[in-house]
């Protein structure tokens, strides 16, 4: 079997359920229970917003449920709002249809484009015998004020079908140098009433408890090629069968992060963005655990090497808006 076929090497081939993903799911459910038409989430690059949306879209039956009855209360879909300037409703509805893979047309009549979206929601809800669709719109900071008015038309038509459309507007807070955390303050009241009644940040992994939880997903939740082969067992079968698992090494991994931050005088924090977390896990498993026949756990030196090689420091200096020091010595070593 070719190890390169493993999902860990294939972009977007798997997602893990993390505490930030759980917080997002609960935030959405809270807004649905309050009767809102949508909510707003924001965060910087690399935190794991896209991965969380993909997980929640693909596993709607697990979280989009009534807390009391445990019955499913909706279906989910996701699209990425394209960049560029859309100067008409025709351009907007064409972009929406194409991103949801409903049409390949370069241009379409705006009325037809709107009707296709209504029919998409009607069909998806009908197939699942649900009355609500949760639609994640990634890069929602690209939506213009005029386009929010177009979305109001969609919202109204869906309501006329006795259905409900709940928009989750996921915005890149540092896109183009603009902080969008509180940008609802200058929006018209009818827009706020529909989609900006509640806004929350999307967080990175916070502290050793959340890091341990995320590492534990590689021990239990994601497996290949058979259910009895979780990722950590696949890459270190002998050690795993002797009692080792990736989450047991959370303390040495977490201490490696803290030590590296202290060494390079980065601000003290327990936050770890998913972008580098997953890269570090991939390298620890594939490059160290899998390659050492006597492997039985990671050493501080191995963790430090992987953190440096993964680009962890580069992203953290960018996040801290600090100038990165000369890394040639560490890169060489």
The model's pLDDT over 238-296, given as tens digits with 9 standing for 90+, comes to 999 999 999 999 999 999 999 999 999 999 999 999 999 999 999 999 999 999 989 99
For 80, the 3-state DSSP assignment is: strand
| Tokens linked to 105 | 């047309």
User: Which residue range forms the structural domain that includes residue 53?
Assistant: 7-203
pLDDT at 4 over 80: no
Non-local CB neighbours of 27 within 8 Å, separated by 6+ positions: 39, 41, 198, 200
Same domain, 59 and 141: yes
For the stretch 102-151, pLDDT in tens is 987 777 899 999 999 999 999 999 999 999 999 999 999 999 989 999 99
158 and 239 in a single domain? The answer is no
d(CA 177, CA 256): 31
Same domain, 192 and 226: no
Q: 231 and 151 share a domain?
A: no
Residue ending a domain, choose from 203, 220, 238: 203
pLDDT value of residue 185: 66
Are 194 and 221 members of one domain?
A: no
Domain assignment present for 326: no
Query: What DSSP line would sit under 180-222, residue for residue?
Result: -TTGGGGS-HHHHHHH-S-EEEPP-EEHHHHHHHHHHHHHHT-
- The verdict on residue 331 lying in a domain is no
Gap between the Cα atoms of 301 and 128, Å rounded = 51
Residue 134 sits in the same domain as residue 282: no
Q: Same domain, yes or no, for 222 and 196? A: no
Is a pLDDT exceeding 70 seen at residue 328? no
**Domain containing residue 11: CATH number:** 3.40.50.300
- Point out the domain boundary residue: 168, 203, 238: 203
Q: Decide if 332 is inside a domain.
A: no
Residues facing residue 59 across a β-bridge: none
User: How confident is residue 162, by pLDDT bands cut at 50, 70 and 90?
Assistant: very high
Residues 49 and 145 in one domain: yes
- Tell me which DSSP letter residue 247 carries: G
Indicate if 118 and 164 belong to the same structural domain: yes
Determine, yes or no, domain membership for 96.
yes
Give the chain's length.
333
Which two tokens mark 85? Answer: 């300037």
In a domain, 328, yes or no: no
- In this structure, the answer to whether residues 311 and 192 fall within a common structural domain is no
Same domain, 196 and 256: no
Tell whether 221 is covered by a domain.
yes
The reply to whether 236 falls in a domain is yes
178/89 same-domain check: yes
In a domain, 329, yes or no: no
101 has a pLDDT exceeding 90: yes
| Domains contained in the chain, number | 2
- Residue 178 pLDDT > 60: no
End position of a domain, from candidates 183, 203, 223:
203
Predicted local distance difference test score (pLDDT) of residue 25: 98
């Amino acid at each position: 079997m070719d190890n390169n076929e493993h999902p860990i090497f294939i972009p977007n081939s798997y997602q893990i359920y993390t505490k930030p993903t759980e917080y997002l799911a609960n935030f959405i459910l809270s807004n649905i229970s309050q009767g809102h038409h949508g909510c707003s989430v924001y965060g910087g690059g690399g935190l794991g917003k896209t991965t969380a949306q993909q997980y929640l879209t693909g596993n709607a039956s697990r979280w989009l449920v009534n807390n009391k009855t445990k019955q499913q209360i909706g279906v989910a879909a996701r699209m990425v709002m394209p960049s560029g300037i859309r100067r008409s409703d025709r351009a907007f509805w064409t972009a929406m249809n194409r991103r949801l893979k409903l049409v390949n047309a370069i241009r379409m009549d705006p009325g037809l484009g709107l009707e296709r979206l209504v029919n998409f929601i009607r069909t998806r809800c009908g197939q699942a015998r649900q009355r609500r669709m949760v639609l994640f719109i990634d890069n929602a900071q690209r939506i213009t004020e005029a386009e929010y008015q177009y979305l109001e038309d969609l919202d109204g038509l869906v309501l006329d079908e006795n259905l409900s459309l709940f928009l989750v507007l996921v915005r890149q807070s540092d896109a183009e140098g603009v902080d969008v955390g509180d940008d609802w303050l200058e929006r018209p009241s009818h827009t706020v009433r529909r989609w900006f009644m509640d806004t929350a940040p999307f967080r990175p992994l916070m502290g050793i408890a959340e890091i341990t939880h995320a590492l534990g997903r590689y021990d239990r939740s994601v497996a290949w090629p058979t259910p009895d082969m979780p990722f950590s067992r696949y890459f270190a079968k002998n050690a795993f069968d002797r009692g080792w698992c990736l989450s047991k090494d959370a303390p040495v991994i977490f201490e490696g992060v803290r030590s590296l931050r202290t060494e390079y005088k980065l601000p003290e924090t327990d936050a770890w963005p998913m972008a580098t977390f997953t890269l570090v896990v991939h390298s620890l498993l594939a490059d160290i655990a899998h390659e050492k026949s006597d492997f039985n756990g990671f050493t501080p030196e191995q963790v430090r090497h992987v953190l440096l090689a993964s680009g962890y420091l580069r992203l953290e200096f960018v996040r801290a808006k600090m100038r990165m020091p000369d890394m040639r010595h560490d890169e060489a070593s």
